[in-house]
Amino acid sequence: MPERSPPEPPTLRAAEPHDVPAIVGLIRELAEFERLTHLLKVTPETLHPHLFGPRPVAECLVGEAGGRVVAFALFFTNFSTFLAQPGLYLEDLYVQPAHRGSGLGRALLAQLGRIAVARGYGRFEWSVLDWNENAIRFYQRMGATVLPDWRICRVTGDALQAFATGLPPASTP
């Protein structure tokens, strides 16, 4: 019986335009995991210009195993007025369940940390759902502090349109 060679270790790289469909597939998996599929509107056509169009607003790293994209980290630049420095904000990180424990998540976070340091950023931040205890423990083991006193404020859709007028929202009966 011929010997099998061990599988190649996962690799990281910057996402390329041809990766967009795979990234969208992983975003769908993430939405299912987070029980947020009702909010999902992303398609390859809507994501592509934001990563690779004339004015990209986000960047993405992908993790590959066996020649397939099995993980991603989508991030963008934010700004801290207190530090007077830009920062790196990780919008989403996802590793397919079969590849968790392979070091891909740790490698993606470490690479983002290196990017933040290389660019002279003052912070590297992200959010985590309060019920995702596994992720919280993982991030804390990596050295992250989960801030207990901060809450995310969000306005989207019709509420955003109303918010933009500066008027209070219409009262509901």
C-alpha dihedral sign at 102, 123, 73, 17: negative
- Two structure tokens written together for 29: 């998996």
- Two structure tokens written together for 31: 């939405």
- Two structure tokens written together for 92: 């989403």
Which among 89, 94, 121, 139 is annotated as catalytic? 139
Active site residue 139: yes
86, 77 Cβ separation under 8 angstroms: yes
Query: DSSP assignment, residue 82?
Result: T
Q: Which residues are catalytic?
A: 139
